[in-house]
Amino acid sequence: MTFSSRPPQSVELQVERRPGTPALLQVDPDDPLQWAFETRRALRSAVVDHGAVLVRGLGLYDPILAGDVVRMLADDLMAEREAFAPRVPYTDRVYSTTRWPRGIPMCPHHELSYRDWFPASMMFVCLSPPVLGGATVLVDSSTVLTALPASLVKRCEREGWMLVRTYNGDVGPSWSDAFGIGDRHGVEDYCRAHSIEFEWRRGGQLRTRQRRPAVVRHPITGVRCWFNEIAYYSEWVFGPETAHELRDLLGPDGLPATTCFGDGTPIGWDLVSHIMQAYSANAVREPWQSGDLLVVDNIRTAHGRDPYTGPREVLAAMADQCTLAE
Ligand SMILES: [Fe+2]
């Protein structure tokens, strides 16, 4: 690939801010890939400033071009590991969004915050918008911190949070699919290398526990952020009625995922509902248009999805893996 010039040292981006919507950058380039080459540094800086930027006018209707632009903007893209719901790969490390029932809202979350290595940013491209709804919901994680009960924040800050997964062979992926590893010893090595406790249970089931920080400082800005998936991976995220049904069906020990405080104390509906309210009260959104690109700072900004009708085709890429451990 060749480009017509060296990337300029500074590019001025005219980012628009309107209440209730993410920062918007309107562009009209002849060549989206050349634009990405010239603008990547300025765009990444704008994403740090605003938490997320929606770029409109690139005309990314084709998954190959979309993948090339995303790869140009990122330092690297992550392959999917430890996933819950399957994604369809479009091109190398560019996937469909997570499969999730279209009529049910997807709770805001920070992608792979349960892993020791997670994406610093998420990139989404809308190939085809839904008929109604389906916006990618964004929530500023420092605002969420101030909206939550102080006692909850304090405890989470002190103890962190824990994700408990049970690969029950029925609901959720198999352990070999989730880890991309076919043998037990390989999975054990992976868990040891990535700070995951594991135990093998009757019938070959695997249970894992991973404890992670729930409140972190942004590595660039130093801003304190609510950074976890306590609500998203709790059975309570579907409401109390469904949570009770799931527990009756699978047993409290058989849930494919549940979330706890860092000391292993379960987190119930009372706290999950607080978190969901904090997300809902502070969410911003902009209806997708075909060809849009959305770049999200994965630590500063949680992302979710509104319910929708009609087909919806949005690509997702996990960019620039980073860790809090360094
Ligand atoms: Fe996500």
What does the pLDDT look like over 24-33, one tens digit per residue? 999 999 999 9
Q: Give the residue carrying structure tokens 């135990």.
A: 199
How close is the Cα of 4 to the center of ligand 1, in Å? 35
Residue 196 has pLDDT above 90, yes or no: yes
How close is the Cα of 304 to the center of ligand 1, in Å? 7
Q: How far is the CA of 211 from the CAs of 75, 172, 265, in angstroms?
A: 28, 20, 12
> 66 — alpha (psi -120 to 50), left (phi > 0) or beta?
alpha
pLDDT digits (tens, 9 = 90+) for 75-86: 999 998 898 877
How close is the Cα of 111 to the center of ligand 1, in Å? 5
How close is the Cα of 252 to the center of ligand 1, in Å? 25
pLDDT digits (tens, 9 = 90+) for 69-108: 999 999 999 998 898 877 888 999 999 888 888 999 999 9
pLDDT digits (tens, 9 = 90+) for 29-64: 999 999 999 999 999 999 999 999 999 999 999 999
**What domains appear along the chain, each with residue ranges and CATH number?**
15-102+115-131+286-320 (3.60.130.10), 143-279 (3.60.130.10)
Angle between the 150-159 and 269-281 helix axes, to the nearest 10 degrees? 110
Task: Enter the pTM of the model.
Answer: 0.95
Degrees to nearest 5, angle at CA 224 with 119 and 262: 75
How close is the Cα of 5 to the center of ligand 1, in Å? 35
What is the DSSP code string of 189-227? HHHHHTT-EEEE-GGG-EEEEEEE-SEEE-TTT--EEE-
How close is the Cα of 36 to the center of ligand 1, in Å? 23
Whole-angstrom distance, CA of residue 318 vs CA of residue 157? 26
- The residues, any chain, with a CB within 8 Å of residue 269's CB and separated by 6 or more, are 236, 240, 243
**Would you state the structure tokens that stand for residue 258, as one six-digit string?**
């549940």
pLDDT band at 264 (very low <50, low <70, confident <90, very high): very high
How close is the Cα of 302 to the center of ligand 1, in Å? 8
The confidence score (pLDDT) of residue 251 equals 84
